[in-house]
Chain A
């Protein structure tokens, strides 16, 4: 762990009281931040300073701080989850910044993700897409076949796992010029499409989930690949290709 001296930074942060009010960028100075601190620890320190001054702290979503719950969702210097590849905001550390830097911090911007307050957005549209088919219809009775009754090709199992690692953070939507949710939707569809258990309902699943995504106001995919670049879990564009194949097959049959 480095013993480097603290960073002094200028923060430009989006502040907005609620969904209906108008927001604006506010400027804050912060000093002596350890390069070993995480980005969110830096915001914790800012908030403590604001409280000590009698001001209202900045609201932002966060929880596990280990890059897995998908709560954190900051648009930092024009990039979802900030600089660095394959990490969430909570995994971003201050050693990625230099003393004297100015950092812009904004919420995800998408019509389907309305702002709740400051940097917090409402991502319940993602839940509703999952309600439309993000499951296998099996009751949780435990009276299923033995787990090893159906061998699954290791490559398929590994690919299904890779798709299933999506954390539902919404960075793909924030990165996309169309605010498309295709990477998110296709990851779930792929997980099930790659497993034998998912085959029975495959057609209804892809049709219903894609329809719901459109209904929520997410835009169409125009294959720029920005989502894949910014995805903290490295969900691949191949998922979108697979979803399109599944969708086409389901539509014409």
Chain B
């Protein structure tokens, strides 16, 4: 059979779209999860994204592993479509936006221009992460280690919280699995309890870590996950997560 690739509109690889039915609430504020892995706060007109890991694809090239160098483009296209759908006033990156300290040197001209046009359109905050303790300063936006939004703190790595603290964090790349009719289905997910949300990784090449793994120990007593399917987001209580 001949191989006949269809010319396709180059677009983001992951579907985008705000969930129509799901809300994640902490500290009395509603957040809307998006299929892309972004989180939208309608009251504050703020869009949150975590762990883009830009230029992860090119990071292995020095060792001779040539992953397709298109992940930055894919992630940015995805971000652009969420931005145009939600039209926020503020965009917050929750850290690990760049895969490593040299990412700025490797990023392509076109991708850089896209990033600059994003930061010039909307107020941008770059929270620092362990992969990018000092993100590049020449692409617009402000670098900061934590952001406070009312009662909620936005940071990269989740922290131990006192009962009156609320946070939204990234870093852990959560994924959850459930069993349905003999199938095990595993997807990226948001995981949240009454005082904490951990967001899934937004980047195109970012893997995911199971919420039942040790890294999540002590962060949640009882929780829900919002699993990201291909067309919709589905909520499950902790008891159904395998």
Question: Is the pairing of A and B real?
Answer: no
Binding site for B on A (CB under 8 A): none
Binding site for A on B (CB under 8 A): none
